[in-house]
Structure 1
Amino acid sequence: MLENPVWAALSGPQACYAEASGDAARYQSDISPFAALADNGDPAAWRDLATLTDYALLTGPSITPGPGWEMAVSVPGVQMVGHGMTGVDDPEAVVLSETDVPEILDLVERAKPGPFRKRTIELGRYLGIRENGRLIAMAGERFRQPGWTEVSGVCTDPEHQGRGLGARLTLALAASILGRGELPFLHAAADNDRAIRLYERLGFEPSHDVIFASYRYVG
């Protein structure tokens, strides 16, 4: 399941957020740009995807686009898993809700953690740290599948980086995930050595290489 986490989520615990057709599914567009196929190399699944959208962001160890699809952008990444790690609750972390979305989107614009849309917060628990009432850091849960929850959206306002806020929130989320009897996992860009080293210090271990790639249907 971890090798195809979006499909495991959309065909499982997060099916309520999916638009699906045969062996293809995608998140509702105001939740996430991610889509998934039961098999990233199956031409029939790619045909199913074309009935849902003409643009899709996919992830997996390898992706072979079907006829009529062309890659627009590809970014190498790494998946990391939290086998045996321990989380740490943070007394300063606050649970974020839909009323915080405008502030969250503003922070995302400044810190650029990756795709985040106005309903992304519905996918799981999001925590934030405020200073003088202003949201300066956050992290949350995104892809969920049986036994696993992804930590995502980890970001800190550029003016407050270097204080360990992202690490604190990541550990606080891990504590919550572990408390449910699940394990945390996450993704990072392959060239983001600083983030990978940080996650390793927190107890995450590399699982396998992945790519994040967007595809356009040209018919």
Structure 2
Amino acid sequence: MKGKLEQILHDTTVNLFKVSIFYIPESLLELMNIQKTKDVVKDINKLVLIDKDGFTIDLEDTKAGMFILSKKRFLDENIILLYDFKENNSKGGFEYVLEKYGEMVNSLLYLSEWLNSHVQDDMLNITTDQKTAFNLQHQFFLSHKHEFEKKFSKKSQIFPNSKLNTKTILSNLKPIVPKLNKQFVQKPISKGLDRREHIKKLKADTRAKAENYLLETVFGVNIIKN
């Protein structure tokens, strides 16, 4: 049972991060007393798009608003995964999964709302298309939370009286700041048939690395290692 619990939480959490737009706000440095090292500074107020395979992709070559639309598909997939888990596992195990998943959804819902509300102030050169992407991302998480609670009759509130603690939420991002450039790489571009197998392996390795890093640092989810 433990392995099944870890696997469903891993799979659903990975889906929550697929097709995302975010940035590390400069205010995080002072808030979390993070030293301004060279690696940290180059990650601050820098927009990042993560595709469905865990790669960061070039903002200049991507319409962020169109890109983010496919996020809903992975959120909807989580509802199906949860239904399937419910049918094939114990009630106690399912309730545990619902509780943990609800906490993750609420955390990302708040984070998406915070980023959407502050990105225009933090990113002076942000485009209308990029602002639209942040807004859509927040709306998708909000809609997903409502559907999750409706389908599974699970009201999850980790922030009493809706008073959201910015410092608590942003503290989850602290480990990411110094390591962001080391953990994510740009998606490789194929230049010939002879490179396909190499790129396929690189893609799989990078995806696993990106997914595991996000799960372990943001939510403390234990990764199943083969």
Structure with greater strand share of residues: 1
TM-score, length-scaled by structure 2: 0.21
Normalization by structure 1: what TM-score? 0.22
